[in-house]
Amino acid sequence: MALRGKTLYRISAAALSLLCTLLLTGCWNSRDIQNLAYVTAIGIDYKDNHYITYVQVLNFSNIARTETNTIGKPVPIWIGKGEGTTVVDSLDAMMATSQLRMFWGHVKALVFTENLMRKGIVETFNALNRYREIRYRLLVYGTNEKLENVFTKKSLLNLSPLDTIMYTPEQTYSQRSFIQPVYGHQVIARINEPGQPTMLPSLTVTREIWTEDAKGVPLLSISGAYFFNDNVLSGWLSSEDLKGSRWIQKDLKQAIIQVPNKDEIVATLALLKPKYRIRPVVDSGNKVRYDIDVRIQGKLFELIKDMPTRTLEKLTQDAVIREVQETYRKGLAAHCDVFNLEETLYRNHPKVWHNQHRPEPYQLSEDSLRKITVKVSIRNTGKYKGRV
Type of residue at 213: D
Alpha-carbon distances, residue 287 vs 277, 332, 351 (angstroms): 20, 18, 13
* Cβ neighbours for 320, distance < 8 A, ≥ 6 positions apart: 244, 247, 257, 271, 294, 296, 374, 376
pTM across the whole model: 0.85
Mean pLDDT across the stretch 9-14? 68
Q: Report the distance separating Cα 90 and Cα 83, nearest Å.
A: 4
d(CA 214, CA 50) in angstroms, rounded, equals: 41
pLDDT at 115 over 80: yes
What pLDDT score does 6 carry? 59
Question: Is 288 exposed, middle or buried (CB count within 10 Å of its CB: 0-12, 13-18, 19+)?
Answer: buried
pLDDT at 351 over 80: yes
Pick from 58-62, 212-216, 381-385: least confident: 58-62
Name every residue whose Cβ is closer than 8 Å to that of residue 212 and which is 6 or more positions away in sequence. none
Pairing relation of β-strands 78-84 and 50-57?
Answer: antiparallel
Q: What is the pLDDT of residues 120-129, one digit of tens each?
A: 898 888 888 8
State pLDDT tens for residues 183-236. 999 998 888 787 778 899 999 999 888 888 888 889 999 999 999 887 889 899
Instruction: For the chain, give the mean pLDDT.
Output: 86
Percentage, residues of the chain above pLDDT 90: 47
pLDDT, one tens digit per residue, over 298-345 is 999 999 998 899 999 999 999 999 999 999 999 998 888 999 998 899
Report DSSP letters for 72-133, one per residue. Answer: T-----EEEEEEESSHHHHHHHHHTT-SSEEE-TT--EEEEEHHHHHH-SHHHHHHHHTSTT
pLDDT band, very low/low/confident/very high, at 171 (cuts 50, 70, 90): confident
Q: Tell me, what DSSP letter sits at residue 5?
A: H
